[in-house]
Structure 1
Amino acid sequence: MSTSVVHLSKATFTISAPDIRRLPEDTGIEVAFAGRSNAGKSSALNTLTNQKSLARISKTPGRTQLINVFEVGENQRLIDLPGYGFAKVPLEMKKKWQKALGEYLEKRTSLRGLVVLMDIRHPLKDLDRNLIEWAAESNLPVLALLTKSDKLSQGAASSEVLKVKKALSNLNADIRVQAFSSLKRTGFDSANQIICDWLAQANESEDVTSEALPNE
């Protein structure tokens, strides 16, 4: 097995693409971030990568209009998908974003983990639930980050996490739920570890391939 360690802090911006046809070659491992346009997705990405401006933060929800690609290491990428739901933009633009998001999820074979971000005060809206259910049906592991947990007391935040876990338990899928705060870095260590473990599969796959090759 590979002994190399994944460091999200090494993430660098690669490209913004309007659709999957403009993305890098569909190889290696990708972990995608998805959520409603007011869920704090950009802040979470910056926190998890220990960078202040890797992902652009706007006071206007819905700024992520393209599929943004960040390279962490060789064959290891983080994908920032277009936000959905809340954004006050023309309907045609929303449809364009949704098409790009849907195509990526359905056709990108290098996708190995999905981080779904939801405001802890308003979790599991219809689009959130639909996305998680799709991932469960596709045997894709999910990390549900309940963002902005600093807006609630520790007890209230823990209660919300339990409610979401219970609501998703019937899916019988690899779904982990945790509170997260970009401001206070709540949940940083565990979320970082899960994502790094997903990305490390790229190195493990290379090792297995090497071991399978016949000796010269």
Structure 2
Amino acid sequence: MIENKKEMINIIGAEYIASAVKPEQFPEEKMLEIAFIGRSNVGKSSLINSLTRTRNLARISGTPGKTQTINFFKLRAKYYEDESVKDFYLVDLPGYGYAKTGKSARKIWASFIEKYFLTSEQIYCVCQLIDIRHDPMQSDIDMFKWLVKNNLPVFVIATKADKISKNAVNKNIARIKKALGVPELMILPYSSVKNDGRSYLLDFIGEALVE
């Protein structure tokens, strides 16, 4: 398990801005975007709430496929070193692999998610969440390969790391790397319950904002 450490930035503000299913509904104000995507029930909402330390910023549900829009949250980051402040969008994307409303809804969702990925000029990185307890499913592999094929930077985060033993973390990370076909891939184990991995994710975001 990655231990927590002193992070580069502190999230001092987080607010919901907009929900969209087409580019015309995206926020008018342009700024760097860090997108989060994963299978339904991978723990995306819990991770977003853990990262921002804002309870219920992203709604947590036991019902897969609840998020059906692209949700934009404006986050404000303050650097510890010089106290400078920078804003960015955290973009919460619908979960793939499940849609309670059926195959037609999945096709619609896939279409507007793809359009977002291919048209937004502000995306810095796509954080793909994969459940560390299990081998990646085919939809995880397909999404990863699609993002890479379309030249979108991917940062893989292995969620629910508190659900397995510390000894199992490295073993399962290795299995995820093998399934994705990239042995040298950096994967961040994350626990939303214990906030393990949060400092490293904050540093990643902090460095992105500097760039």
When the two structures are superposed, what TM-score results if normalisation uses the length of structure 1? 0.81
1:27–1:75 CA contact under 8 A, matched in 2 = no
Q: Are the counterparts in 1 of residues 35 and 126 from structure 2 also a CA contact under 8 Å?
A: yes
Matches within 5 A, 1:80-119: 80-119=92-131
Separation of aligned partners in 1, 2:144 and 2:138: 10
Distance 1:145 1:15 in 2: 25
CA distance in 1, matches of 2:11, 2:97: 28
Please list every run of 5 or more consecutive structure 1 residues that lacks an aligned counterpart in the other structure: 202-216
Equivalent residue number for residue 28 of structure 2: 25
Question: 1:125-164, aligned counterparts within 5 Å?
Answer: 125-164=137-176
Q: 1:63 aligns with which of 55, 62, 66?
A: 66
CA contact (8 A) 2:156 2:186 kept: yes
1:34, 1:40 → 2: CA distance? Answer: 10
1:52 aligns with 2:55: yes
Higher helix share: 1
Contact 1:150 1:181 in 2 (8 A): yes
Structure with more strand by fraction? 2
Letter paired with 1:183: V
Unaligned runs of 5+ in 2: 1-7, 77-85
What whole-Å deviation, never above 9, does each CA across 1:129-152 have from its counterpart, x for those lacking one?
222223323443322111111111
Instruction: Give the RMSD, CA atoms, in angstroms.
Output: 2.2
Pick the aligned partner of 1:36 from 7, 27, 39. Answer: 39
Q: What's the CA shift for 1:52?
A: 1.0
Which structure ranks higher in relative contact order (CA pairs < 8 Å, sequence separation ≥ 6)? 2
Report the equivalent of 1:196.
206
Rg comparison, structure with higher value? 1
Q: Alpha-carbon deviations, 1:147-200, whole Å to 9, x = none?
A: 11111111111211122234446487xx53021111121211112211232233
- Identity of paired residues, percent? 36
Specify the code of the residue in structure 1 equivalent to 2:206: C
Contact residue 9 and residue 202 of structure 2 kept, 8 A: no
Tell me the residue number matched to 2:194: 184
Q: Distance in 2 between matches of 1:21 and 1:75?
A: 21
1:184 is paired with a residue of what secondary structure?
Answer: coil
Instruction: Determine if contact 2:135/2:175 at 8 Å carries over to the other structure.
Output: no
- The Cα of 1:88 is off from its aligned counterpart by 2.9
The question of whether the paired residues in 1 share the 8 Å contact of 2:33 and 2:125 is answered with yes
1:8 aligned counterpart, secondary structure: strand
Amino acid at match of 1:96: I
Q: Residue 21 of structure 1: CA displacement? A: 2.2
